[in-house]
Amino acid sequence: MKKEKPLLEEAIKIFKILGSETRLNILLLLEKKDMTVTDLFNELEVSQPAISKQLAILKEYKIISYDKKGVENIYKLNDLHILNVINSTMGHAEHVLNNQDCDNNA
């Protein structure tokens, strides 16, 4: 178990990152298409500085990356493993909200 501790600690950090409503909404938007800060601002009811701060956190953990296009950064998902985590979690949340049993085979 000691060898797994660093991995467990890193996983905990990732779950904390996904625990932010703004960051989760950013990731759900980036799942659909690559976006600029302005694009994200137009979709979310959050200030541009707040979005930039959340993007910096997501970049730090290598969840997203960006390509430079002129003066703008185009943000995109960097690690598709995150989508599996998000989609599984959203599926579980749906079961909980609908008071359904969770099917381990789904």
In a domain? residue 106: no
- Write the burial class of residue 75 (CB in 10 Å: 0-12 exposed, 13-18 middle, 19+ buried): buried
Taking 70 as the pLDDT cut, the residues of the chain under it are 1, 102-106
In a domain? residue 105: no
Kindly report, residue by residue over 95-104, the tens digit of the pLDDT.
899 988 766 6
For residue 12, what are the domain limits?
5-97
Q: What is the CATH number of the domain that holds 61?
A: 1.10.10.10
Angle value at C-alpha 54, between 14 and 80, nearest 5 degrees? 50
DSSP designation for 78: S
This prediction has a pTM of 0.85
Q: What's the structural domain count of the chain? A: 1
